[in-house]
C-alpha cells in the first residue's frame, strides 16, 4: 500500500523538532557534571515532570501497536495490560517511596547500586546489572520496530526506511549523550500530550467513521466476531494465563532499569505517591486502544499482518494531515522511551559492571563519560540485534518481563526483611532465571505465564536456603540497613570485614 507524502513530511518534521528540543534541554552544562545529574536529573523533578517522564517511559509505541495487534489477533486477552498496570501502581505506592528514600540518602542511581550496598555483594549487583542490560536490549529493539513500522507505512515509495530508522536512533543517541535524562523528560511532555489528544481523537472518530458510533460498533462485533469479546477459560492464553500475566507484569514493571530511572528523578517521596495514584489514568487510553484492534479486525481486509493493524487502520481512515499527526505520535512513543531505556542500561553497565568489576578506582568524571558513551553501544547493539533477529523481538521482550521479575525479591522484599541473606537471594535469583528459561524453551507452562513459575521457584529457593545463613545475617549492619531498619548497634565492623 502506497504511503502518503503529506503524512510522511509531518511525521519527519515532528520527529526532527522534538529531537532539537531534546538537544536544547541539555544546553546547561550542569546536566553532564556527574552520573547523578546526567541519569536522574539530580533528583529535582516534581510531580508533573515525573508524571510526564514515567508516562513516556512506560506507555510506548509497543504499548499501542502491541495492544491493537493482540486485540486484532487474539481478542480480549489484550485487556491483561489494564489490571497489570493498575496493580503495578498499587504495589509501587507502598514500596517505591521507601526505595526512593534509600536511593536519595545513599546517592544510588540504579537498583543494582541498592542491592550491592544492602547485601554487601558486588556479585549480586553485577548479576542484576547483567540481567537488566540483557533484558532491555529486546525492549529497545521493539521501540526500533515501532518507528520502523510507522515509517514503512507512512513512507512506502518515498524513502529508504532502514536508513531513516538508523538516522533517527543516531539522533536520539546523540541528544541522550548530550542532554541526559532532561532530554527525554522535556520531549516527553510533547509526546504525552500528543498521546492523549490523538489517541482519544482516534477512539472517538474511528468507530464513527466505520460504524456510526460506539454502540453500533459493539453491536457489529457481537454479531460478526463475538470471540473477540471473551477470554478463553483454558488453553495457552486462558484465564489462568491472564491472571498470572497480569500479576507478574505488575511486579516486574518497576524492576526495569528505565522505570527505576524515572522514579529516582523525583525530588520527593510524595511526588512518587501522587504519581502512583494518578498514572493509572493512562489506562483510560489503553482500554479504548484495545477496541481499536477490534475495529481493525472488522474493517481491514483479511491477511493483514497484525503488527500493522493500527497503522493500516489509520491509513485507510484519515487524510494526510491526520495520518501524519497520528504517525508522529507513535514514532515519538518509540524514540523517547528508547532514550530513557538507553540511559537505564548505560547506567547499569557503567556503575555496576565497569566500576564494580573492571575499574573500581575510576574517577567520577571518567565514570560519567563512560556512562554517557555507553548510550551509543546500547542503541547500536539494539539496532544490530533488531535487524538480524526481527522475528524474535516480541517473544524476547515477553521473556524479558519474566526475567526482570526475578530481581523483585532482591529489591523489594529486602526493603522489609532484615534477615534476608545475600546467599539466599543470589541462589533464589539464579534458580528463578533458570526455571524461567526452562519453562520458556520447553513450552511447558501449563497455561500459566512463564515468569510465574520462575518467581515461585525463586521465592521457594530463597525461603529454604535463608535459614542456613540467617545467623550470619543477624546483627550485621551497614549504612543501608541502618536507613531501612534503624541502628543494630553491634556488628558494623564485623560486616565491613566480611564484605
First to last CA, the chain: 62
Question: Alpha helix (H) ranges present in 225-308?
Answer: 239-252, 257-264, 269-278, 282-299
Residue 377 φ then ψ, to 5°: -65, -50
Q: Please identify, in words, the CATH class of the domain defined by 5-394.
A: mainly alpha
C-alpha distance from residue 7 to each of 1, 145, 181, 201, 404 (Å): 14, 19, 30, 17, 38
For residue 497, give the 3-state DSSP assignment: helix
For residue 476, give the 3-state DSSP assignment: strand
Whether the model pTM is above 0.85? yes
Is the torsion defined by CA of 43, 485, 253, 88 positive or negative? negative
Q: One digit per residue, pLDDT tens: the chain, 499 residues? A: 556 788 888 888 888 888 888 888 777 777 778 888 888 888 888 888 888 888 877 777 777 888 888 888 888 888 888 898 889 999 999 999 999 999 999 999 999 999 999 999 999 999 999 999 888 887 887 777 777 788 778 766 666 777 777 887 788 888 889 888 888 888 888 888 888 898 889 989 999 999 998 899 999 988 888 888 888 776 677 888 889 999 999 999 999 998 999 899 999 999 999 999 988 888 888 888 888 889 999 998 887 888 888 989 998 898 888 988 998 888 888 888 888 888 999 999 999 999 988 988 889 889 999 999 999 988 888 777 766 666 555 556 667 888 999 999 999 999 999 889 999 999 999 999 999 999 988 888 888 988 999 999 999 999 999 998 877 777 677 889 889 888 754 444 443 333 3
- The domain limits of the chain are 5-394
Residues 323 and 194: their CA atoms lie apart, in Å, by 13
Amino acid at each position: 500500500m502506497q504511503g502518503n507524502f503529506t503524512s510522511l513530511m509531518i511525521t519527519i518534521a515532528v520527529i526532527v523538532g522534538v529531537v532539537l528540543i531534546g538537544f536544547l534541554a541539555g544546553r546547561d552544562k550542569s546536566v553532564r557534571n556527574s552520573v547523578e545529574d546526567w541519569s536522574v536529573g539530580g533528583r529535582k523533578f516534581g510531580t508533573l515532570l515525573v508524571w510526564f517522564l514515567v508516562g513516556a517511559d512506560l506507555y510506548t509505541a509497543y504499548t499501542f501497536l502491541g495492544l491493537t495487534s493482540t486485540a486484532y489477533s487474539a481478542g480480549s486477552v489484550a485487556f491483561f495490560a489494564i489490571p497489570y498496570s493498575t496493580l503495578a501502581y498499587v504495589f509501587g505506592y507502598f514500596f517505591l517511596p521507601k526505595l526512593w528514600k534509600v536511593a536519595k540518602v545513599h546517592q544510588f542511581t540504579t537498583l543494582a547500586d541498592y542491592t550491592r550496598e544492602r547485601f554487601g555483594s558486588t556479585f549480586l549487583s553485577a548479576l542484576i546489572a547483567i540481567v537488566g542490560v540483557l533484558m532491555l536490549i529486546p525492549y529497545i529493539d521493539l521501540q526500533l520496530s515501532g518507528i520502523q513500522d510507522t515509517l514503512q507505512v507512512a513512507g512506502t515509495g518515498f524513502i529508504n526506511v532502514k536508513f531513516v530508522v538508523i538516522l533517527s536512533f543516531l539522533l536520539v543517541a546523540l541528544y541522550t549523550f548530550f542532554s541526559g535524562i532532561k532530554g527525554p523528560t522535556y520531549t516527553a511532555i510533547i509526546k504525552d500530550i500528543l498521546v492523549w489528544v490523538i489517541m482519544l481523537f482516534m477512539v472517538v472518530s474511528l468507530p464513527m467513521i466505520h460504524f456510526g458510533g460506539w454502540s453500533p460498533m459493539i453491536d457489529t462485533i457481537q454479531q460478526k466476531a463475538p470471540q473477540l469479546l471473551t477470554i478463553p477459560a483454558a488453553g495457552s492464553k486462558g484465564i489462568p494465563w491472564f491472571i498470572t500475566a497480569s500479576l507478574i507484569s505488575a511486579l516486574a514493571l518497576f524492576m526495569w532499569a528505565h522505570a527505576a530511572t524515572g522514579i529516582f528523578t523525583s525530588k520527593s517521596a510524595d511526588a512518587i505517591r501522587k504519581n502512583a495514584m494518578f498514572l493509572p489514568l493512562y489506562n483510560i487510553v489503553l482500554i479504548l486502544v484495545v477496541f481499536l484492534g477490534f475495529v481493525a479486525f472488522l474493517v481491514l481486509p483479511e491477511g493483514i499482518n497484525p503488527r500493522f493493524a493500527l497503522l493500516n487502520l489509520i491509513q485507510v481512515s484519515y487524510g494526510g494531515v491526520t495520518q501524519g499527526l497520528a504517525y508522529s505520535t507513535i514514532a515519538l512513543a518509540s524514540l523517547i522511551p528508547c532514550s530513557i531505556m538507553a540511559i537505564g542500561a548505560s547506567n547499569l553497565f557503567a556503575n555496576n559492571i565497569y566500576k564494580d568489576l573492571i575499574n573500581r578506582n575510576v574517577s567520577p568524571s571518567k565514570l560519567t563519560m563512560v556512562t554517557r558513551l555507553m548510550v551509543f553501544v546500547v542503541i547500536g547493539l539494539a539496532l544490530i540485534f533488531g535487524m538480524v533477529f526481527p522475528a524474535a523481538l516480541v517473544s524476547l521482550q515477553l521473556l524479558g518481563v519474566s526475567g526482570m521479575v526475578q530481581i523483585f525479591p532482591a529489591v523489594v522484599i529486602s526493603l522489609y526483611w532484615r534477615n534476608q541473606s545475600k546467599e539466599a537471594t543470589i541462589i533464589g535469583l539464579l534458580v528463578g532465571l533458570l526455571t524461567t528459561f526452562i519453562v520458556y524453551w520447553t513450552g511447558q507452562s501449563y497455561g500459566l505465564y512463564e515468569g510465574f513459575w520462575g518467581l515461585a521457584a525463586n521465592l521457594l529457593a530463597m525461603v529454604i536456603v535463608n535459614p542456613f545463613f540467617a545467623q550470619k545475617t543477624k546483627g550485621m549492619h551497614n549504612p543501608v540497613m541502618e536507613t531501612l531498619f534503624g541502628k543494630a548497634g553491634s556488628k558494623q565492623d564485623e560486616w565491613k570485614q566480611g564484605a
